[in-house]
Amino acid sequence: MWGLADEAGSAQTQGMTTEINDEEVIAQVAETLTEKLPGVPRATIDEVVREEFAGFAGRPVRDYLSILTERAARKRLKKLVRTGP
């Protein structure tokens, strides 16, 4: 019985850790892009970064989420700057 409780607790803690790490990745990417694209409103950057990050959810690319998200979001944001919303 103790083993099951420990496993459940570990899974729950791991889930929370992953969620926090995801938020940290999103915040870090948004901050980087805010510095690189000062003409783009932060709200737009946040929205695009979250959408791009979500696009990678459930895929076996966890180690590369930050760079993949940044590249995809930067591409979209630069296109927005060139063409307008």
Asked if the model's pLDDT at residue 53 lies above 90, the reply is yes
More confident residue, 9 or 28: 28
Q: How many domains does the chain have?
A: 1
**Domain of residue 47, residue span:** 22-83
Q: Quick check: is 13 in a domain?
A: no
Q: What is the pLDDT of residue 17?
A: 56
Tens digit of pLDDT for each residue in 10-49?
334 444 455 558 899 999 999 999 999 999 999 999 999 9
C-alpha separations of 56 from 10, 47, 61, 68, 73 in Å: 24, 15, 7, 8, 12
**Distance from C-alpha of 65 to C-alpha of 55, rounded to nearest angstrom:** 10
Structural domain includes residue 15: no
Q: Apex CA 49: angle with CA 45 and CA 54, to 5°?
A: 155
Contact assessment for residue 40 and residue 55, using Cβ atoms and an 8 Å cutoff: no
Residue 45, pLDDT score: 97
How far is the CA of 6 from the CAs of 23, 61, 71, in angstroms? 26, 28, 39
